[in-house]
Chain A
Amino acid sequence: MSFHPHDVRRRAIAAAVLVLLPLILLGAAFFRTQVIEHEQFALQSETNRLRPIPLPAPRGIIYDRHGRVIAESVPGYSVSIIAKNEDSLRVTLEQLSNSIELTQRQIDATVRRYRAMPSRPALVFSDAEFDMVSVLEELRTDFPGLVVQSAPKRYYPDGAAVSAFVGYTAEIDERELTRPEFADYTAGQQVGRDGLERSYESLLRGREGTRFVEVDARNRIVRERGARTELPAESPPPLHTNIDLDLQRHVVTLMDTLQGGIVALDPNTGGVIALHSAPGFNPNRFIGGVSFQYYDSLNTDPRKPLYNKALKGRYEPASTYKLATAAMGLELGLVQPETRMPVACNGGISYGGRYWRCWKRDGHGNVDLRGAIAGSCNVYFYQLGRQIGLRRLLAGGVDLHMHERSGIDLPGENPGIFPETIDYYNETFGPRGWTEGSVAMNLSIGQGENAQTVTNMARFYTALATDGHAATPSIVKQDVPNRVKVLNLTPEQMASLRLAMLDVVSSRGTAGSAQVQGIQIAGKTGTAQNPHGPNHAWFVGFAPVEDPRLVVAVMIEYGQSGSAAARVASSIFERYFRAPTAPIPVTENLE
């Protein structure tokens, strides 16, 4: 072998170069990875070890007009699991089901939530009972990916009393998630369902926060807090409503054994002071998922608690509509308050080969408009309706928004049923299947093709209670009330109608039993014919007559006669104007 020193020297230099070159290349590779690409790898290292845990935000508080709580958030617990993949999540859930009550449906729902958003901990229970939480706390070491944390839970202190307008919250479902309005929602989050919770979702929903837990390679939580600064959840400002909880509770008590809908409005602003559909249901039972038993019991109840009788239920307005007919007659100049009709009421009137009965067998005699309203004389209004004519009756009803929704700030309201033109009759009955006279006579007393929600009738009566402006009902306080002039009558004509309605609630009228000492109530009863059973009872009115501050519309299903509804209404007026306890002062900034 050649081990001459010169050769060795040459090879040693070559060897040194051959040895150093790869080391320098390695150094360069480390420089690239550690210095140039550092940001990217630092980020990957963070995502490796940090798991964001959403901190649900408390929803905004809903207050009544006096700062009393209608809806609030109370401490609750949510349970979720950080899982590496779907299989390990299923295994964990199966194991958990040995220790706590966990149905297959809940397991499947959890896996669905995981699939929808694998980067978030899969939510198992959004509202866990304290008993379960304490069991889970003990199991924590066996289930290292388990996240039990406090989660605000919606609570309605008045329960069923506010069920007609407050709604409830529930976990957002897959169908909703596909809609653009819920683009920034993710599976497992709570969303408002129905009522105020739905219509003011964007204002009530808080901003979700995030905390970071540190996990190891197997997704076991190593550090609960302090791994990275938390983004706290933010709750939105509260929502102030026009509701008077005291009156609302009173309304609910009144309707305790009855079924129907009640709306109480401030005629000047449209502010909803009370709104109820009886019987109600307990919205608290819907939080965190309604139980099958409770939902089933609501659905099979023949009184239909889930059907909102103030917003959705549509009833023939019956005699409460006579004020519309009267207003049209006055507006058209066909009648004056003192005008009498050609035929006096002696229990009925013949027309078109048929005898049209008045509700009062003995007849009202020869009454003027005021007397006709007070006594609810059908014969008078049959004749007035014929004078107005069908086309003008329809146009007048359309002007009063009888074919529309009241526009209340609640979801699910039904529009009134009212024909906009006579084409409706041609299409429905055929051109020869009806006569204008009969249809006009029926419409003029609030029967026929006319069905209204309690809310829409209340809206119409705000026009009667004011200078002819109808106010859009609004649960939440509005800066500027939405009012539309629907009655173009002189102040004298308005006053005459109000006086006539005052007579209704007097010994001369149909609601004499509803009088309240010291409060001048004006209104109109109605008895809607019901082919399915006893007649429905209406009363819509306002008080005090000189300066109306409250409009009340009462609809009692199977209530038989309007005076029953009037008595309920008068109790509401009495409560409102003579609260047994002094009203709690308004506290505007009750945060």
Chain B
Amino acid sequence: MTTDKQAKEKIEDLGKELVKEVLANKPPILNVPVRALSNIVFNKQKEALELGNKISERNFFNVAHAKKFLQTLEVAAKSKDLLALGKHASLRDVFYMIKRTIPNTKTNIVDEQSESDNAIEDLELLTNLSREQLNINANKMGSVAGQVVIEDKGDEIDWSKMGSGGWSIPSNVEEIKFKKVKAKYVIYMEKAAVWERLHEDKFWEKQNCIIMSSQGQTTRGIRRLLQRLSQEHNLPIYVLADFDPWGFYIYSVLKFGSINLAHMSGSMTLSTARFLGITADDIEKYGLKKQLIAFKDVDMTRLKQLQNYEWFKHSKDWQRQFKMMQTMNAKAEIQALSSRGISFITEKYLPEKIKNEDFLM
């Protein structure tokens, strides 16, 4: 573990290095690894996306780079302050902490949060520290329920006794200790609404499992928590997502890592993840044809991109799914199952799928 003090020193070193260049009359340059598909390598052995070795040179004395250079330094300075104070800030906080107008200009240091977020990712790459280690957190966004007892900051928490909302997953889950894990597997789902269904039907109790969801994006906290449950307690992870290219990609990110976070793939990937549904075969088997929604152009474009990803290219099963989706030229949401009955998902669909081990790897 990196302590706050060590993290702070790493950031300070970055600054000292640059000042040394400046005082030697050399233009200050940051060497940031390129975070784009062009610099992503799929490690077949580890089954994970990793960053290649393309470096983009960010020279302050280059019109195209000056602003980004400044943004990165601003973020570094703020992170250093946070570490010194032992406080945490959200991504949004950091955005406001550095947002201001540069004197004598009409230029703001940042105009949108995406700019400060990018600067933070640069800082992660430059210091080799994760965002959490820099005391910058994302918003909590996920819920969990199941037969698990944990300890967090001295509090004991029973995930089976969290009322109707479940326990909300913090952005940093490194400090959590698992006290008792009775559950046998985890279902991670794309939709909070589906989680509510499973929770109301006490699915986790009946099936002795953990149900987890996020609102939309799979946050780093959730990915890390899933990884820990998989690695430390050997729990299989099942992914329940929409039958569309975006749903497939949620699985892809969980399993192989994402392009933006390729530099953190070691602590993020989940080689044991399995795609439970909705699959193209489910559409047939569970009579969801009437619930299909016609593809738009963007869907088809995205599907074609997925088909060509290195990590899907050689999987016959996945290529078959892609092809079937292409032929249907349509997609379906998880909630399409409700057409068969409100609790069809918890009483029939999920138990059957899990029992028959009907999933994709």
Q: Do chains A and B interact in one complex?
A: no
